[in-house]
Amino acid sequence: MTAKKMEESPEFLEIIEATTARMKRRAQRKSISASSFERTIEETKEMFDTNDWSECKARHLVAIYDLMHTKVYGVDAADLNSTARYSYTMMANAFVKREFNGDYIRAVKFLRWAWNREGRWEKWRRENKTGGRRLTIYNLFSGRVLTEYRTDLARRHDHR
């Protein structure tokens, strides 16, 4: 078959069309809208109020970050735009699967520990009029803070 005939064949055109459609889907930026994230924030607040995390998903971990960032630092996490919310949700999901075998309740315990510690540090920073780095969502879900958490748990276990 010549190149000209191949380009005109229905099979070739179907392959080109499917490939083009696949490339367009990949090119579309994934995002979580403000209204959708606001619903997730409300669900997360309910989980805080009831201490029932049985329905917790990755998006709720991102909402915990958003809520706690505002509580601890007194400012919104401006880096949580619609595209970042999606990316961080995927990052949180992979993190929970990898580090907690998919157990979101254990992941919430980790976040509680991390934010309690950061709250104490931020209080000290303000009292001593000193700066310092903030706890970023990347640090939480990349495993950097997780090692400190696990070390703290091991130390507590050794002292029992």
pLDDT tens string 23-45: 666 555 689 999 999 999 999 99
Mean pLDDT for all residues in the chain = 89
Query: What pLDDT is stored for residue 96 in this prediction?
Result: 98
Those residues with Cβ within 8 angstroms of residue 149's Cβ, 6 or more apart along the chain or in another chain: 110, 113, 114
pLDDT at 65 over 70: yes
Query: What pLDDT is stored for residue 143 in this prediction?
Result: 85
| Percent of the chain residues past pLDDT 70, beyond the cut | 85
The mean pLDDT of 109-118, rounded to a whole number, is: 97
Q: Cβ-count burial of 92 within 10 angstroms (0-12 exposed, 13-18 middle, 19+ buried)?
A: buried
| Percent of the chain residues past pLDDT 90, beyond the cut | 73
Query: What pLDDT is stored for residue 158 in this prediction?
Result: 77
CA-CA distance, 137 to 141, in Å (whole number)? 6
